[in-house]
Amino acid sequence: MIEVTVAEVTFNSNQGGYAVILREKDAERWLQIFVGTAEAQSIALNLRGGQFQRPMTFDLVAALLRALEGRVRSVQISRLHDGIFYADVLLERPDGELIRLDARPSDSIPLALRLGLPIWVREEVLAAAGQTGFPQMGSLEERILQLEGDLDEAVEREDFEQAVRLRDQIRYYRNLIQPDDEEGIRA
C-alpha cells in the first residue's frame, strides 16, 4: 500500500466534472478520481477545515463508531474495475478485531479527512491509473479566475446573456469552496 494525501479538488473542463487529486507522499505520482458535485464540496470543505452545521454522513459514521467504541483505522483505495475506483474502510472493534467495509472513495475520503486518518492506495491501482508530474487541470480557484476573465470579456462585448451565465458559474464554484451560510453550512 502507498500512502497518499488529498492534494486538491479540481474541475476538469475536458470531462465537465470534479476530481479529487490524491498525491503519493514524497513522490510525484498522483491519482485522479472523479466525484460528484456534492462529494467535491464535502471534500473541499474538509480540506479547508470547514464544518457543516448539521452532521454529514461521514460525521454520523464517526459518531456511531465512537458510540460503539470502535474506530476507523484507515481508508484504502483498493481496486479499479472498468474505470471505477473502489475503497475499503478498515475498522477496529473494541476487542481488536479488524473489519473491512466496502465503500466509495467519495464517501471514504471525507471520513478520512475529518478523522485525520491515512489514505492508502494499492500499488496495483496506482500503477494502473496513476500519473506523474503535475496535473494539467486547474484548481477551483484557477477555474474561477479563468471565468472572471471570460466575464470581463463578455461585458466588454456587451454579451450580457453570456455574462449572466458566467456570473452564475462563478457563484457556483465559489460556493463549492466556501458554501453559503444560508444553506446550513459554516466555514
**Each residue of 137-165: pLDDT tens digit?**
556 677 788 888 888 888 888 888 888 88
Amino acid 179: pLDDT: 55
HSE (side-chain half, CA atoms, 13 Å) at 82: 0
Architecture per CATH, domain 2-129, reads as Roll (3.10)
More confident residue, 136 or 75: 75
Residue 172 has pLDDT above 90, yes or no: no
Burial of 52 (0-12, 13-18, 19+ CB in 10 A): middle
Q: What is the pTM of this model?
A: 0.69
Amino acid 20: pLDDT: 92
Amino acid 77: pLDDT: 97
Query: 145-184 burial, b for 16+ CB within 10 Å, e for fewer?
Result: eebeebbeebeeeeeeeebeebbeebeeeeebbebeeeee
User: Chain-wide mean pLDDT for the chain?
Assistant: 83
HSE (side-chain half, CA atoms, 13 Å) at 113: 27
pLDDT tens digits for range 108-122 = 998 899 888 999 999
Arithmetic mean of pLDDT, 94-113: 92
Enumerate the domain spans of the chain: 2-129, 140-186
More confident residue, 115 or 176: 115
